[in-house]
Structure 1
């Protein structure tokens, strides 16, 4: 709970001796405040703790007053000369000291200040205190010093409930069955307030008749019927103390109040005095089902339509129709289109126009849009480099963008009668309207473009607030006429940027890191001309660094290194090792990377299980080998004997291995595992040849043993 200077706090006492404090000053730390009792003719400011006020209100010992009994709304011309002189005299006396806050409230410091005024103004201290007290108690304005002759009677002030009945008497008061005349006292008012809070200001939306019935059942069960408060008394109390905003918030919700119950005192045009001073952007889901461009048998659902409207002229400056849900991507496309050449845009859809048919290709000064789409780092880039200020509507407040909201209604009204697949309320047994889808997204966009061109050039804007300049020059409230007139007579807000620069500053931004393996962004490796020419990747072996880049999440085949001023860029291409990511969306890449990580984890688990099996096999082999070796040991053989025969034993083992491992071509294994001799050469049948070969083998073996 917060407090403000001049607020009134009423302390719960009897109706006759009311104590109402006015807050005169609050310290910057929000700990101490000074208050004054507005009804005490001898009081002075008192220091109180903010926490004590909060506790008193929370405990029900006090409450804030909505109405200030000393508020004066007076026409200066209606004040009598004598009263003005009285006010000026008092103001001239205290005007130099009332702003000495908080010193003027502190007793030890106030005395010398008052004494100085007494000497300067030749007045008594009593007079100074009288003026100060009146000034503080009545709202801290010069008019608080006016005399009180016009306040006789206390009009509007609550009256105490005496024994005599106030107001109209009951028509049948002489009939006991109809009850007695009775004033509504403080206790009854409190019951009325509790009943209205509990039974009326709720989502149940009970009527006052029902509230009266529930109140009687809860608070007056044992009271004689003739002593009960009447329905009319409850209605009067409700009407007199009604807070419409609080009531509507409780009964139908604050969002509904802001959209349908709040007062409408201004117009959208008052915020925009020239073309480009304010654009409104919003998205809606189209009331039509579409088919795929690749297979017209596929129904792809309803499109998302983004529209950008210039508030001054009501011209539609940008359009995007896609399948992206309401997000920055869709808003980015619509904003880029609002600053693009419309002749080229229409030509992509086989629509031929001249520049004058759709002249909007400029950047605005201000944009108002939804919080969810127009908040974040990407929007800050647009603000910084395109110098576009962004205003966001509160949640659930489409009425803050009335121009673009009205445009959506116009589109639906004009398109619905001609487009198949339009959403219609379902009826039992009725045809499924989704099956009527016939248009693809490009065909539907073409229809909207034609409709927008017609709107911009021929639509009479109903309810447009024409100023005197427009009326004098007989300008019709047609978007193109208003746009052209504004450019001639109120130029200065519209700016033109290169389309690539616009797209660069609308795309999301990120940080890419230069490493020896490439420019890494989202675990994708890129390169560029500068990186190759300036040997970035060689330098990155010593130290890596970051690059400010822009990217289009719909196609990650390229990213763009931003220049510091946001008006230039260098494209980066994807490296061959990551060619699988080329022309893929960021969502697809992140899904694929997540799948690869999952697959790697699964493979690691399989490898772990395989290693466990391998360890078991190795242990079994070792165990068997140990058993065989230990069984073959001679317990009487010395250690030195075992070691000294290593070379000899190695030679014999090598000879045996060579015999087993030697390639023997032309032999086949018999069923018993022995090779079957095949055809031999003539040299192998010569006995002398065989003797010489055996002698050579023997000498070779002896030489190996010596080694």
Structure 2
């Protein structure tokens, strides 16, 4: 996965011509010059630059675990030698330890220094593909499940039982079991601190791998540490169509410890899970210009990039093997909060308190406790939709929180971040962080994966069939045992109109669309609602037409409810008030009498207009 290095002296391409970066003008503009004529200085927008004239996209999960393990082994061998002067003796020492030639070690170092990516150390033989060398997706799934259920437990089950269980599961599914070394290599790829915590205790893991005590350490520079966590917001949201109450949303947020800048967030009505974390990181990794434009926010959200570390709670949903691979590729280190040590997540917890305190001023707030809520009816006063509260939260973060003096750092988060990036007379800045160029690749890599066979009509997932011509060569393919091959597909829960199909030969993803081209787009939660509707109405033997029809009927019901509510409000606003009716029913004599009474009162009050006050001396 390519990154655009924005540090001074780095080579970039502008209009497919190689340039060198001279300085950062601001967060959006750089001064550059052609490498063959550095006197021809121009200022350009960062978004117009690239790392290569034609960048070949590589998917993070296009390699097997064996290939990834091999690449990490090479990286561990050379990580102390890269980007510095090294002696021949040092290189030969590494070569002897890993039983390769010194020239091989030099080649590994050069390869990594050119790309700064672990995936670059995967051998070209693997990148071209070796027939029969890759594990089938279903076998991969079996390995992952057994490791999760047996290896990562306090029982500390030994390897023989783990391997025998994998073989037994493969036999049940009529698939070829993996080689013993394949399973061993898979276990080696697991983060050792994570494994120690799961198999022994968090305390033991922290004693061996922890590097601090007390409160979570202050970041020494921007993007050194991101903290990430979830919290429910103290507000009831309503449906955008019917305006009926839906419940409290969950916020997943990443904060830069050094500057206290919010690096990214994700807001959802669903309980936090892997998808919430991945979307929060996706938002944190990338520049926010498009995000601000989507919600029509006037302001700057300068922070983006890959942190050196990101700290998380011990929830299972916060870390997975796929996320570990993303961390490996970008050089991030996962840091888990020790159990029973809440001070380790204090920075993100504080901003949660700040946000909820502001939300207590909004209609529909639930407040933080029953006593504070008192007689306030949160449901009756609920007003905000998910999109509206997302816009409100973005506006608050960008234009209020980032510009408010933070007592912990003695300045605003925006000032602190700018200081860390550009520096001042006393402190050199780190410079602008590199930009992830191939956004689609990281987006797909972070999506949840499924495994399905390819039939004549395409691939079916959750009752909906998808198709594209790229599937033709894989229709009804069997493995060597005569079983149907299963292929990896990924789906965005926010839009299930298409799938991403991973071609195992071309090693890239292709988009598959609905087989029924005019079917409505839905979220995965819309789909589950439609299925529940069919079940509640005792509609059996359903197909995708029934699902789409059910979704459209539900949408129509919501639309009608919204129209009825709007008409009711209009009628209510136009209806005459009882006071008006009573006023119109008054007789002429009553009106005259009231007028005379008012005039008499006015005369009475006028008698006291010019009265002077006398002070009596004692």
**Structure 1 length as normaliser, TM-score?**
0.40
**Structure 2 length as normaliser, TM-score?**
0.45
Tell me: higher relative CO, structure 1 or 2? Use CA pairs within 8 A at least 6 residues apart: 2
